[in-house]
């Protein structure tokens, strides 16, 4: 019988020819990722109580990104604990050079056909490389660290096909905000497979946004079939793929729960109003919504391509008086590359304030938090109450184009207006 890509990967992980949606199986893990917030500080005492050790340290990646740089003694102690635990348990892949979901891809840890788990809901980002990667909590991470296995219910596959080509000023973030509004956020136990001409033209960074924000749809994971772009990215990361990517694709006649087709060429820039990504509608439909803070950061909005999008809008312009623009690149490498190609100069010349790399304001844990009564327009993936600071703040979500344009105008607007002026 025909199988989807998600089903093929899961079947391989449990040593079977095939699996079917709804089955509960035990899968062997190719890679486990955890970070400083949900990692050692949550699992170390549990492992000690069990007298257990890590099943395979070489298959574990630990990244410090939520509490960096430390803003108080508690944060410093958490970071120290994370470093000590990784060293004591022989985990060679420990990093503190960027957001975990971005670092995994930069270092080539995720390969086509792999079955991976992460201690963070946005671990679904790994699906951009043709892998199956899902996020789980600290209890499941503890068990997986000891056994190298995890149980799951085989998800249904939902295919999302994007035809056409995205217009200037429209990005993967707009696609996902549109899908949150169109398909809702209650798509539990589903694997979203993205395809179509518009997706195939996307950079790996943009495909990561699609898979990352599958978590906002409520899906188990998001996935994009590996192709030449995937192989090139892995070569650049120094870990070329040695397998056959032809093996890791859905059969054309595989059964799916649903097939959705959209025209990318008609998509407009989207903005999600508080307090849900599902509250999305075209940016041009908003009235005058003044913003106090514009934030370009997080795993969905501060990779090099995101910073370059913002620079397209900000070049030759200034941030509006009364509005602050904060930018936190997604990794040290992204910062270096943005400095080398002149992107950072454009951003700072416009009045942007450069923040340290990390999850920071996105998780409401560091510099850039929003006060009560303030309005923030952000490239982050979530905007529920209190996500970026005060529960009395209002957080809107948009693409780097939209956030940069909002910073210049001081209010929500369609970024295509400014891009047209400089075309």
| Percent above pLDDT 70 for the chain | 100
Q: Average pLDDT, stretch 20-47?
A: 97
User: CATH topology of 5-263 equal to that of 270-422?
Assistant: yes
Task: Name residues whose C-beta falls within 8 Å of residue 84's C-beta, 6 or more positions apart in sequence.
Answer: none
pLDDT above 80 (res 423): no
pLDDT, residue 244, reads 95
pLDDT, residue 422, reads 82
419 in Cβ contact with 310 (< 8 Å): no
The tens digit of pLDDT for each residue in 210-266 reads 999 999 999 999 999 999 999 999 999 999 999 999 999 999 999 999 999 999 999
pLDDT, residue 363, reads 86
Q: Give me the long-range contacts of 83-91 (CB less than 8 A, separation at least 24).
A: 85/39, 85/40, 85/44, 86/40, 86/62, 89/53, 89/54, 89/57, 89/60, 90/54, 90/57, 91/54, 91/57, 91/60, 91/61, 91/62
31 in Cβ contact with 150 (< 8 Å): no
User: Locate tokens 């999008």: which residue?
Assistant: 309
Cα-Cα-Cα-Cα dihedral of 212, 258, 190, 283, to 10°? 30
Given this structure, which CATH class describes domain 5-263? alpha beta
Q: Average pLDDT, stretch 6-27?
A: 98
- CB-facing half-sphere around the CA of 91: CA atoms within 13 A: 27
Nearest to 357 by CA among 297, 421, 295, 294: 297
> Cα separations (Å) of 207 from 40, 127, 238?
30, 9, 20
Q: Average pLDDT, stretch 269-295?
A: 97
> Cα separations (Å) of 192 from 158, 210, 271?
5, 9, 22
Separation of alpha carbons 155 and 4, rounded Å: 10
pLDDT above 80 (res 293): yes
Q: Average pLDDT, stretch 307-334?
A: 98
Q: Average pLDDT, stretch 264-290?
A: 97
Gyration radius from the chain CA atoms: 21
Separation of alpha carbons 21 and 262, rounded Å: 25
48 in Cβ contact with 154 (< 8 Å): no
Confidence of residue 409 (pLDDT cuts 50, 70, 90): very high
pLDDT, residue 172, reads 98
Provide the token pair at 87. 């060293």
Summary mean pLDDT of the chain: 97
pLDDT above 80 (res 102): yes
Strand order in the sheet with 60-63: 93-95, 60-63, 31-35, 115-118, 132-135
385: left (phi > 0), else alpha (psi -120 to 50), else beta? Answer: beta
Q: Which residues pair with 326 in a beta bridge?
A: 295, 353
pLDDT above 90 (res 99): yes
Q: Average pLDDT, stretch 322-341?
A: 97
pLDDT, residue 367, reads 87
Boundaries of every domain in the chain: 5-263, 270-422
Provide the token pair at 288. 């005058």
pLDDT above 90 (res 207): yes
- CATH 3.30.499.10, applies to 270-422: yes
The tens digit of pLDDT for each residue in 350-397 reads 999 999 999 988 988 888 999 999 999 999 999 999 999 999 999 999
DSSP letter at 350?
T
Cα-Cα-Cα-Cα dihedral of 296, 300, 304, 309, to 10°? -60
Backbone angles phi, psi at 177, to 5 degrees: -65, -40
pLDDT, residue 365, reads 85
Q: Average pLDDT, stretch 279-301?
A: 97
The tens digit of pLDDT for each residue in 120-149 reads 999 999 999 999 999 999 999 999 999 999
């Amino acid at each position: 019988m025909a199988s989807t890509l998600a089903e093929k990967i899961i079947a391989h992980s449990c040593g079977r020819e095939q699996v079917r949606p709804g089955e509960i199986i035990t899968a062997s893990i190719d890679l486990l990722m955890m970070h400083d917030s949900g990692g050692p500080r949550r699992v170390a005492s549990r492992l000690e109580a069990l007298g257990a050790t890590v099943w395979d340290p070489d298959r574990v990646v630990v990244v410090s990104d939520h509490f960096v740089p430390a803003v108080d003694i508690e944060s410093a102690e958490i970071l120290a604990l994370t470093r000590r635990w990784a060293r004591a348990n022989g985990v060679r892949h420990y990093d503190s050079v960027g957001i975990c979901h971005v670092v995994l891809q930069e270092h080539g840890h995720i390969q086509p056909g792999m079955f991976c788990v992460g201690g963070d809901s946005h671990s679904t980002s790994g699906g951009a490389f043709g892998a199956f990667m899902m996020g789980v909590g600290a209890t499941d991470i503890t068990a997986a660290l000891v056994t190298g296995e995890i149980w799951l219910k085989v998800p249904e596959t939902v295919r999302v096909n994007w035809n056409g080509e995205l217009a200037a000023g429209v990005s993967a973030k707009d696609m996902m905000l549109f899908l949150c509004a169109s398909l809702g956020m209650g798509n539990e136990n589903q694997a979203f497979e993205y395809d179509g001409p518009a997706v195939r033209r996307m950079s790996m960074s943009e495909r990561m946004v699609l898979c990352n924000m599958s978590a906002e749809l409520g899906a188990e994971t998001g996935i994009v079939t590996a192709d030449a772009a995937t192989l090139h990215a892995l070569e650049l990361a120094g870990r070329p793929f040695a397998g056959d990517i032809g093996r890791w694709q859905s059969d054309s006649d595989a059964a799916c729960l649903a097939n959705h087709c959209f025209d990318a060429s008609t998509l407009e820039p989207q903005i999600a109003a508080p307090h849900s990504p599902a509250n999305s509608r075209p940016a041009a439909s908003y009235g005058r919504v003044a913003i106090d803070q514009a934030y370009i950061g997080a795993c969905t909005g501060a990779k090099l391509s995101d910073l370059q999008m913002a620079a397209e809008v900000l070049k030759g312009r200034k941030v509006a008086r009364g509005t602050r623009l904060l930018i936190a690149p997604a990794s040290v490498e992204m910062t270096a590359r943005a400095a080398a190609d002149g992107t950072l100069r454009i951003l700072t010349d416009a009045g942007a304030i450069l923040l340290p790399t990390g999850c920071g304001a996105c998780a409401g844990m560091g510099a850039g938090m929003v006060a009560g009564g303030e309005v923030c327009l952000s490239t982050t993936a979530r905007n529920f109450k209190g996500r970026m600071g005060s529960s009395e703040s209002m957080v809107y979500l948009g693409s780097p184009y939209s956030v940069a344009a909002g910073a210049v105008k001081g209010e929500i607007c369609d970024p295509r207006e400014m891009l047209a002026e400089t075309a």
